[in-house]
Amino acid sequence: MILVTGGTGQLARALADAAGGGALRVVGRPDFDFDRPETLRATLDATAPALVVNAAAYTAVDKAESEPDVAYRANRDGPAIIAAWCADHGARLIHISTDYVFDGSKGVPYVEDDATSPTGIYGASKRAGEEAVLASRAQAVILRTSWVYAPFGKNFVLTMLNAARKTDRLRVVADQRGCPTAAADLAAAILALADRWNGSDGGLYHAAGSGETTWHGLAEAVFARAERHGLRRPTVEPIATADYPTPARRPADSRLDCGRLARRFGIVLPNWEASVARTVDAALA
């Protein structure tokens, strides 16, 4: 049985949809709560999964700057408990991490062995979670992903669609580069990995949508597709990061090289543009 953490989060929901009611159980608050560590082992003991997919995390990038303790409980301490349980019970673990473990200064896509240098509490707490999982005796794969979106939940694609209903002009950052990733595509990759991975060759892998763009480019792709559904297309003004200050500093270029995942497991996520189109169609259906 596969246990997925993350409750109603977009990746957990996408995994449940992709599994189609198979041998997969999703857990979340209040039964599985990183702020109540005693619930973690209790849930794991009660379900006794053969594989855990840890899709739960504290992802409020800016809020993390003022809530570091909460971020570290969810992104470091919780994964450490899960990994220790998996090690004790011979269960496999797929732990989801982020491109924000990098500072974005490399200039070309990051590979798994590149040095990490998070620019904020969110990225630092996620990196600490990676280290905790890697230090455990668990058979574990860590999947770093980026810019995740879905036709539900809270994400950039839905934010843009909602904004377009309210205004005819938007300002979107155009000097941050990354690899948008559909939750549905990531879920399919995780389930494929679950089938192909026997517990050896664990460690770090990158799993993101193929191709790259900026937040501005992503917004334009969203609106181009939404226009087919009759949504008025706003003017999208490209701006610099400096023009949109936030509490947390984002990496300027967090593109991920996903070649290791393709070579080892034959898993390649679809092109981000095609996936954005499908997501917008689903959101506006």
What does the alpha-carbon distance between residue 15 and residue 99 come to, in Å, rounded to a whole number? 20
Is residue 122 part of the annotated active site? The answer reads yes
Please give the distance of CA 170 from its chain centroid, rounded to a whole number: 25
Residues forming beta bridges with residue 173, ordered by sequence position: 239
HSE, side-chain direction, 13 A CA sphere, residue 72:
10
HSE, side-chain direction, 13 A CA sphere, residue 150:
17
Location of structure tokens 């005693």: 38
Location of structure tokens 């809270």: 154
What does the alpha-carbon distance between residue 217 and residue 75 come to, in Å, rounded to a whole number? 30
Characterise 97 by phi-psi region: left (phi > 0), alpha (psi -120 to 50), beta (else): beta
Choosing from 122, 149, 205, 244, which is the catalytic residue? 122
Catalytic sites, residue numbers: 122
